[in-house]
Amino acid sequence: MGETMKIYFSITKSYALMLCVTMLVCFAMFSCVSVQQSNIHLSSESARISYLSSMGFNSPDLQESKSVILPLGFSESFEQYTDIMEKGGYGISEYKGEEVMLYTYFFSYDIVHLIEFEDRLICADCFNMKDNKIYPLKVRKNG
């Protein structure tokens, strides 16, 4: 009878272990932020202006465009930025160590950044100077 109990408990422990592992895998899969790859190609200034206009930003003034390399290790403030952007669907952290183009546009109360990798939009944000907050551009509410 003792051996039967021993086998019974070892099977139960195996099932319990498999159940725990399965639950952890499911939790990991479903709790991750879903990051969408951008299919927006902005290979020219006119394409960027058209994109900004479609988002409600008209007559932008390009203030700056420069090539930057995203750091391999993000600072705390940059980690906060990437968290905000990833919640908006931008997977900028996937481009650590890559050379990207940063375009900065000024509007009356907004500063908009477009970040491109190989002419493909990988991140777009809007810093609103009235409320002192940054938003992923595609979810920003106008007004």
Of the candidates 102, 142, 97, the one whose C-alpha atom is nearest the C-alpha of residue 122 is 102
In this structure, the number of other CB atoms found within 10 A of the CB of residue 136 comes to 17
Q: What is the mean pLDDT of residues 40-49?
A: 88
Give the pLDDT confidence score for residue 3 in this predicted structure.
53
Q: Which residue has the higher pLDDT, 23 or 44?
A: 44
Q: Edge-to-edge, what's the strand order for the sheet holding 133-136?
A: 61-69, 99-106, 110-117, 120-128, 133-136
Evaluate whether 95 touches 42 at the Cβ level (below 8 Å). Answer: no
Q: Which residue has the higher pLDDT, 38 or 111?
A: 111
* Measured distance CA(88)–CA(65) in Å, rounded: 23
Give the pLDDT confidence score for residue 118 in this predicted structure.
93
pTM of the model: 0.67
52-80 residue pLDDT tens: 988 888 877 778 999 999 888 778 888 88
Residues 6+ apart with CB under 8 A from 79: none
Give the pLDDT confidence score for residue 91 in this predicted structure.
87
